[in-house]
C-alpha cells in the first residue's frame, strides 16, 4: 500500500496557517491586509478563514473575531493553569502612535530623541520609554493625535474573563500578535471605553526557565 499523500494531520483545532490567519482576523485586519503582510494570495486567506469558521463552528467572520482560543503549542495554552489570577493589577504596557514614514520616524525617535529601539516588524517599530513601550505604526492617511493605551496584565485569559463579567464589550478575543525568535509570545485583546475610545489588555508570555 502506498504512502498517504497530502499534508500531515495536525494535533490541534486548526493548522498553523489557519491559526495565523485567525489571529490576524481577531486583530482586525482585512483579508487583503493579511495577504499583504503574510505574502500569500487573497484566495489563500479566504480559504483559511472559511476553513476556520467551519472547523470552529462559528457563524461568520464577526463571530470569529471574538472566538476565544489559542494554539495547543502556544505558551499561553500550555501555561494558562499555572498563571496568576490577579487580574486587577494593571500597568501601562504600551502606547501607540501613528506616523507618516516609519523609516524616518524610527531614525528620529532613535537618533534624535535617543529612545532605545527594541525592534521593527514590517511597518511597525517599537521603543522603550522607561519601561513603557512605544509603538509607532505607519498610517495610510495623515497621522492624528490619537493614543491607544495598552494595559499590561499577568494573565490575559483571566483578565478577559473578569472584564467580560463586568460588562466590558471586547472588539476581539485574546490573540497572539507576535512570536519572537526566542519563543516569547505577545498576546492582546481590544475593547472600548464608555466614550468609544480604544483600549487593550496585553500579556507577554515567556518560556519556562530550564
Domains identified in the chain and CATH numbers: 16-65 (1.10.10.10), 75-205 (3.10.180.10)
- The yes-or-no verdict on residue 82 having pLDDT over 50 is no
Q: Give me the pLDDT at residue 209, please.
A: 72
Task: Please check whether residue 186 is in contact with residue 127, taking contact to mean a CB–CB distance below 8 angstroms.
Answer: no
Q: Give me the pLDDT at residue 81, please.
A: 42
Cβ neighbours, 10 Å, residue 73 = 12
C-alpha cell at 196: 468609544
Per-residue model confidence as pLDDT tens digits over 94-134:
988 888 889 998 998 898 878 899 999 889 999 998 889 98
Q: Could you tell me which residues come within 8 angstroms of residue 210 by beta carbon, excluding any fewer than 6 positions away?
A: none
Per-residue model confidence as pLDDT tens digits over 24-48:
999 999 999 999 988 999 999 999 9
Task: Please indicate whether residue 197 or residue 158 has the higher confidence score (pLDDT).
Answer: 158
Q: How far, in Å, are 29, 75, 124, 129 from residue 151 at the CA level? A: 21, 20, 19, 15
Amino acid at each position: 500500500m502506498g504512502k498517504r499523500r497530502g499534508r500531515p494531520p495536525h494535533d490541534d483545532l486548526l493548522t498553523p496557517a489557519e491559526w495565523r490567519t485567525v489571529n490576524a482576523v481577531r486583530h482586525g485586519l482585512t483579508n487583503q491586509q493579511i495577504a499583504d503582510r503574510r505574502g500569500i494570495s487573497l484566495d489563500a486567506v479566504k480559504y483559511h478563514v472559511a476553513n476556520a469558521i467551519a472547523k470552529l463552528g462559528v457563524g461568520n467572520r464577526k463571530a470569529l473575531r471574538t472566538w476565544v482560543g489559542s494554539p495547543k503549542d502556544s505558551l499561553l495554552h500550555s501555561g494558562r493553569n499555572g498563571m496568576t489570577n490577579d487580574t486587577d493589577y494593571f500597568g501601562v504596557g504600551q502606547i501607540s502612535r501613528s506616523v507618516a514614514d516609519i523609516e524616518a520616524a524610527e531614525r528620529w525617535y532613535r537618533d534624535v530623541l535617543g529612545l532605545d529601539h527594541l525592534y521593527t516588524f514590517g511597518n511597525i517599530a517599537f521603543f522603550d520609554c522607561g519601561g513603557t513601550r512605544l509603538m509607532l505604526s505607519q498610517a495610510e492617511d495623515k497621522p492624528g493625535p490619537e493614543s491607544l493605551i495598552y494595559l499590561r496584565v499577568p494573565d490575559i485569559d483571566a483578565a478577559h474573563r473578569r472584564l467580560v463579567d463586568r460588562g466590558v464589550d471586547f472588539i476581539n478575543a485574546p490573540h497572539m500578535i507576535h512570536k519572537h525568535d526566542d519563543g516569547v509570545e505577545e498576546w492582546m485583546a481590544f475593547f472600548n471605553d464608555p466614550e468609544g475610545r480604544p483600549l487593550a489588555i496585553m500579556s507577554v508570555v515567556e518560556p519556562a526557565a530550564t
